[in-house]
């Protein structure tokens, strides 16, 4: 059976992409395409180093959703991973890839998520609130922002001395781990969605 073909969407440094290149690519699945909303994203350099095709998108451009859809079709993409992708996914893409787009978010959803929660701000808000636990969430992408069914979560302890940066570092390590595990299960078709609940098969 041929490997599942994966498209990874990025906007920045791409450390989550790197963990997929290191642990998934040509082992459990094939990262066939990297799409960036930012032509200067370091993640593009990481993709090219692994000889993965890359595309930079001008997301504001009229009809860019049609461009993405035909790119994904041409590359025979099975599912999409948002790894630090900072733009909203167009409805036509969500429709075409229902329960086949997953996202990694640096908090325990439904805490500290939604339109104004991204990057270091997520961790600064968690520190400000004084939570004792934070963490990372992998979830399916639906028409909302960070609202799709949860696939996997893992918590980290927040110490009194933590600030946004130190918490971000702890959470990023968890992100890399649970994103790889979730993508591996997607490649193995071991993720079953029942309404809002997700079952991960052994």
Helices (H) and strands (E) in the chain, counts: 6, 9
Shortest distance in whole angstroms from residue 43 CB to ligand GRF: 6
- Structure letter (DSSP) for residue 13: -
Shortest distance in whole angstroms from residue 16 CB to ligand GRF: 3
What is the contact mask toward ligand GRF in residues 60 to 99, using x (rule: CB under 6 A)?
A: -----------------------xx---------------
Assess 113 for contact with ligand GRF (CB under 6 A): no
DSSP string over 160-185 = TT--HHHHHHHHHHHHHHHHHHHHHH
Residue position matching structure tokens 């991973």: 81
Assess 12 for contact with ligand GRF (CB under 6 A): yes
Assess 106 for contact with ligand GRF (CB under 6 A): yes
105 is catalytic: yes
- End-to-end alpha carbon distance in the chain: 19
Q: Which of 3, 5, 15, 111 binds ligand GRF (CB under 6 A)?
A: 15
Size of interface with ligand GRF, in residues (CB under 6 A): 15
Which residues have a Cβ under 8 Å from the Cβ of 135 and sit 6 or more positions away? 107, 108, 153, 154, 155, 156, 171, 174
Binding residues for ligand GRF, rule: CB under 6 A, are 10, 12-16, 43, 83-84, 104-106, 119, 172, 175
């Amino acid at each position: 059976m041929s490997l599942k073909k994966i498209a990874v969407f990025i906007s920045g440094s791409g450390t989550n992409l790197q963990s997929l290149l290191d642990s998934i690519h040509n082992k459990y699945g094939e990262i066939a395409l990297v799409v960036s909303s930012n032509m200067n994203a370091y993640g593009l350099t990481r993709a090219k180093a692994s000889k993965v095709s890359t595309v930079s998108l001008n997301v504001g451009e009229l009809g860019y959703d049609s461009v993405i859809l035909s790119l994904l079709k041409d590359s025979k993409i099975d599912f999409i991973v948002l790894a630090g992708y900072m733009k909203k996914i167009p409805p036509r893409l969500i429709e075409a890839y229902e329960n086949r787009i997953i996202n990694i978010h640096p908090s325990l959803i439904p805490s500290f998520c939604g339109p104004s929660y991204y990057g270091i701000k997520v961790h600064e808000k968690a520190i400000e609130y004084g939570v004792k636990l934070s963490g990372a969430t992998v979830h399916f992408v639906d028409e909302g922002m960070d609202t799709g069914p949860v696939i996997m979560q893992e918590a980290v302890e927040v110490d009194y001395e933590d600030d946004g940066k130190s918490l971000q570092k702890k959470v990023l390590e968890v992100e890399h781990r649970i994103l790889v595990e979730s993508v591996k299960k997607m490649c193995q078709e071991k993720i079953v969605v029942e309404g809002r609940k997700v079952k991960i098969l052994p």
